[in-house]
Structure 1
């Protein structure tokens, strides 16, 4: 049931704004990964990004003196750190080196659908018709964007499998993180999840040192950017929003990312989108709007009728629209 009180509406607006910060920064990550990925191997890029993110989040945690999260939060932190912060980043970087951007976008964008299904199964979340319809429209838009960006022979079995694994680990990580946020703050859950991911990626430390020695400065700066903004900031604002809404509804907002990637590629990389790309981006935005919309509110109307034989007036409930 939606909280219609002023406090509830304010909390919902803040959650939506926080999610907006996350999707904008995650969209920008695709541009940075394209640059850094030419100089850094998938594991090295993931580790460098996580180390930068952990450093920034650690400073913030120390300044705010939040300390360790409660014991009840650790299971969700460990699982999300392993799957989302660790495995997801490695396999996504690897997958995007095997397939073209369009194919990667199509496969990875089953993630929000998996989040909704897993949220319903493990978190007891509802699947409102508007959420399902909105995700369907947005997924159709993501497919259109993917088809328009796909190159000739750009897909292979390994690359598709890696992108599929990335979608599954992303969805499972989000659903695992949700219960942890009932016990720890967004900053605590994000920092320790990022730390777990960095520990998981430590086997790539040798590659990171080797790649950093040969990488051009712009590639290294892009890796640091990925750690500070799309990781430290975006994952924290995402956790803040996730603590205040359902995983399925929040996951649907990430369908804004393909539309933003198209816009950013147009503005910063001078990649003029095809008409199918624009149509797909519009569908992504339309689907998110549908998934975030509310059904017409029901209102109560009491008809003033003359009581008969001492009977009371009967309230009549009518639909608002």
Structure 2
């Protein structure tokens, strides 16, 4: 007997996403997301951050719908409402996140944004070991974030806190969308709706992108990496593990963002940042040990 839900396999990619360890999927998702973020930061000198985010959502929607089967049919009204809310929350989260990292370091921004997943993990924590794992993750995130408020980054902090609240919504609503077991169709349709809803925010500054093919390709490429690949992997993972475990494993994202910022944006982590990374990884390790022991206990007591 197993506690994980395995999605039906239809090809090598689906089989890999349905059987790989959640930690491996999270790292793959994180790398994809922050490769996109690195490209996006490089565009901010030529394109407004909210416009890059708008194209990010648009590019991901096009890519996901192109590979989805019959995404236009088979939805109930309740499912469509959930998909729409998910897509709008995700689009706004992307916009606020880009407005933030245009003002503060990528690693620090992602770390502060992690307050949202922490809140979800705290609300769903059930055992003492889970609470200990969450404590390690919280302390590590606080150490990594540093939360320094001054005249230079107050706006950045405000934007990242808004993104954090929307990240919590992304987890809660996205988990329900993923349980619909429609592959990435729900994500693609949701992002298409999110693109339409956020058009007044992103479109007014999009003129330079439409007349420069290289800019357009780069903006859409951000969407493919960060949303189509990154969030697409999330949809498979959400179908397999509890929301509590998903929320805590997201602690790996600030660690990955700090490393990507160091390698590609000349934002090296300090010694205290390394301590924060170690605490986050310790929290994830404690959580995973609890999960293993829980599954083993179920197996021992299951007569089947």
Same fold by TM-score greater than 0.5: yes
1:170 equivalenced with 2:167 (yes/no): yes
Query: Using the alignment, how far apart are the partners of 1:176 and 1:59 within structure 2?
Result: 23
The one-character-per-residue Cα deviations of 1:75-94 (angstroms, maximum 9, x if unpaired) are: 2211111112x211111222
Kindly tell me: are residues 135 and 36 of structure 1, through their superposed partners in 2, closer, same or farther at Cα, counting changes over 3 Å? farther
Change over 3 Å in CA distance of 1:54–1:5 after alignment to 2: closer
Matched, 1:146 2:145: yes
Give matches, 1:177-256, under 5 Å: 177-204=174-201, 206-212=203-209, 217=214, 220-256=216-252
Distance of 1:166 and 1:134 partners within structure 2: 24
How far apart, CA to CA, are the structure 1 residues paired with 2:120 and 2:222?
A: 24
1:92 to 82, 86, 97: 97
Residue 161 of structure 1: aligned partner: 158
**Residue 294 of structure 1 is aligned with which of 287, 290, 295?**
290
Match of 2:117 in 1: 112
Q: Which residue of 2 aligns with 1:309?
A: none
Distance 1:194 1:277 in 2: 34
* Alignment gaps of 5+ in structure 2: 8-15
Q: Deviations over 1:135-191 (max 9, x none)?
A: 3212322222223x96975431x3322211111111112201222223241311111
Between 1 and 2, higher relative CO (CA 8 Å, sep ≥ 6) is seen in 2
Q: Output the CA distance in 2 between the equivalents of 1:251 and 1:67.
A: 30
Per-residue CA shift, 1:25-80, capped at 9, x if unaligned?
2233332232122222232112111111111112101xx44543421422221111
Match of residue 70 from structure 1: 75
1:3 and 2:3 correspond: yes
Q: Does 1:276 align with 2:278?
A: no
Unaligned runs of 5+ in 1: 121-125, 302-316
Among residues 23, 27, 32, which one is paired with 1:20 in the alignment? 27
In structure 1, the residue corresponding to 2:206 is in which secondary structure?
helix
Query: Which 4+ stretches in 1 moved above 6 angstroms?
Result: 4-7, 149-152
Count of residue correspondences: 288
Contact 1:52 1:224 in 2 (8 A): yes
In structure 1, how many angstroms separate the alpha carbons of the residues matched to 2:22 and 2:111? 27
Change in Cα spacing, 1:79 to 1:55, as seen in structure 2 (3 Å) is same
TM-score, normalised to structure 1's length? 0.76
